[in-house]
A and B are shown apart, each in its own frame.
Chain A
Amino acid sequence: MSNIKAEINLAHSPGYTTLAFSRDGAFCYTGGDDCIVRLWKTNEGEDQEPPTAIEAGESIMTLATSDKAWFSGSKDSDVRQYKAGDPDMEAVVTSSAAACIRCIAIDPPGKRIAVSSDEPTIKVIDIEDTVNMLILHGHNDVVRKVTWEPSGSFLTSCSADGKIIVWDLTQQEPKQIKLIDGVIPALKDKDSRDFAHDCSAVWHPSGQYFVVGSRTHEIVVISRDSWTKTSTFSSDSLTGVVYALALSPNGVYLASSTHKDVQVWSTQTRRLLFTFPNATTDFVTQLAFSPTKNLLAWADFTGSLYRWSDPIPSSSPSPVDPVATSLVTRPKRRGATPTLFDDDATARKPNEPVKEDTGLGGAEDFENEDWILDDVGDGMEDDLGAPGEDGNALVKEMVSVTKAQPAFQPGSTPMENRKRYLAYNMIGVIEVTDQDTHYIINVEFHDRSARKAYHFTDYFRYDLAALGPRGAVYACQPENEHSAHVVYKPYGNWATQGEWTYELSNTVRVLGIAAGGPAPSKSMRTLSDGDMQGNGNVVVATSDNELTFLSGTGIERCSVALDGDFVSMVAGPEWVFVVQRDGTTTMDGSQNLMGTLYDFEDMCVLQNRKLPIRKGHTLRWIGISEEGAPAVYDSAGVMYLMPRFRIPLRGTWVRILDTERLERKQGKDESYWPVGLSEDTFMCLILKGRQEYPTFPRPLIQELPVRLPFRGKDPKDSPLEEQQVFARESMHLQITRDALGDEEIPDEVLARELALDKELVQLIQTACKRDKLPRALELTRMLHHTSSFDMAMKVAAFYRLVGLREKMQALKDDRVVGDRPQRRDWVRDYDPVRPPRLPPADVQRGEPRAFQDFGPPAVVHRPGLARATLTLPPPPREDLYTRGDDHAPAATLPGESKRKRADEDIVAYGDAAQPDSIKRRAVEDDEYTMPGPPKPRANPFAKKPSDTADGPRNPFAPNKSLHKSESFFDKVEAAETSKWKGLSRSRLCPADGWY
Chain B
Amino acid sequence: MALPVSLRNSVTPPELELIASEELVEIIPLISMERTAFISGAYGPLRPPNKAKIPLWMAINLKMKKKCHIVPPNWLSVDFLQDRLALETSRQEFSQFPFRFTEIAKLLLDVAPDDIQNSERIRSLLKDIREVRQAKSREGLQKIDHSELSLPNLCSMEINEIRPFFVRAMGVLTQLTRDPVADSQFDV
Contacts and interface: CB of A to CB of B under 8 A. Distances in A.
27 contacts: A426-B49, A445-B48, A446-B30, A446-B48, A446-B49, A447-B31, A447-B32, A447-B48, A447-B49, A448-B48, A448-B67, A449-B32, A450-B32, A675-B49, A676-B49, A681-B50, A700-B28, A700-B69, A701-B28, A703-B51, A851-B36, A851-B38, A852-B35, A852-B36, A853-B37, A854-B35, A854-B42
A703 B49 CA distance: 10
B148 interface: no
Interface in B26-59: 28-38, 42, 47-51
Interface string A416-449: 0000000000100000000000000000011111
A849 B51 contact: no
Give the top 6 A-B pairs by smallest Cβ distance, nearest first. Answer: A446-B49, A449-B31, A446-B48, A447-B48, A448-B30, A851-B36
B52 to A, nearest CB: 11
Contact of A683 (B31, B42, B50, B69): B50
Contacts of B42: 854
A448 B49 contact: no
Given A703-B51, A854-B42, A849 B35 contact: no
A590 interface: no
B136 to A, nearest CB: 34
Interface of A: 426, 445-450, 675-676, 678, 681, 683, 700-701, 703, 849, 851-854
Given A447-B30, A852-B34, A854-B42, 12 more contacts: A446-B48, A447-B32, A448-B31, A448-B48, A449-B31, A678-B50, A701-B28, A701-B49, A703-B51, A851-B37, A852-B37, A854-B35
A299 B69 CA distance: 48
Contacts of A426: 49
A849 B37 contact: no
B109 interface: no
Contacts of A703: 50-51
Interface of B: 28-38, 42, 47-51, 67, 69, 71
Q: Is the interface of A mostly helix, strand, loop or mixed?
A: loop
Nearest to B69: A700
Contacts of A446: 30, 48-49
Contacts of A683: 49-50
A260 B42 CA distance: 58
Contacts of B37: 851-854
Nearest to A453: B30
Given A448-B67, A701-B28, A849 B50 contact: no
Contacts of B28: 700-701
A164 B30 CA distance: 54
Contacts of A450: 32
Nearest to B30: A448
A787 B49 CA distance: 38
B100 to A, nearest CB: 24
Contacts of B51: 703
A853 B42 CA distance: 10
A681 B47 CA distance: 13
Contacts of B31: 447-449
A849 B34 contact: yes
Contacts of B69: 700
A493 B44 CA distance: 30
A701 B71 CA distance: 11
A700 B68 CA distance: 12
B31 to A, nearest CB: 4
Nearest to B33: A449
A852 B43 CA distance: 10
Contacts of A701: 28, 49
Contacts of A852: 34-37
A560 B48 CA distance: 35
A447 B31 CA distance: 5
A852 B71 CA distance: 26
A469 B31 CA distance: 15
Nearest to B29: A447
A313 B33 CA distance: 46
Contacts of A676: 49
A852 B36 CA distance: 5
B73 to A, nearest CB: 14
A260 B31 CA distance: 45
Contacts of A849: 34
A966 B42 CA distance: 53
A170 B38 CA distance: 78
Contacts of B49: 426, 446-447, 675-676, 683, 701
Contacts of B47: 447
A858 to B, nearest CB: 14
A700 B31 CA distance: 16
Instruction: Give the one of A447, A676, A701, A853 with max B CB within 10 A.
Output: A447
A450 B46 CA distance: 12
Nearest to B28: A700
Contacts of A851: 36-38
A875 B32 CA distance: 45
A851 B67 CA distance: 19
Contacts of B30: 446-449
A319 to B, nearest CB: 33
A700 B32 CA distance: 17
A853 B48 CA distance: 22
A449 B67 CA distance: 9
Nearest to B47: A447
Contacts of B71: 700
A851 B29 CA distance: 19
Contacts of B36: 851-852
Nearest to B31: A449
A860 B43 CA distance: 25
A526 to B, nearest CB: 14
A849 B35 CA distance: 11
Contacts of A445: 48
B39 to A, nearest CB: 11
A677 B60 CA distance: 28
A984 B34 CA distance: 34
A84 B67 CA distance: 68
A794 to B, nearest CB: 31
Instruction: Give the one of B32, B38, B49 with max A CB within 10 A.
Output: B49
A849 B33 CA distance: 11
Nearest to B36: A851
A852 B34 CA distance: 7
Instruction: Give the one of B28, B50, B69 with max A CB within 10 A.
Output: B50
B21 to A, nearest CB: 20
A445 B51 CA distance: 15
Contacts of B35: 852, 854
Nearest to A849: B34
A624 to B, nearest CB: 15
A450 B32 CA distance: 7
A525 to B, nearest CB: 10
B27 to A, nearest CB: 11
B120 to A, nearest CB: 14
A427 to B, nearest CB: 9
A700 B42 CA distance: 26
A677 to B, nearest CB: 12
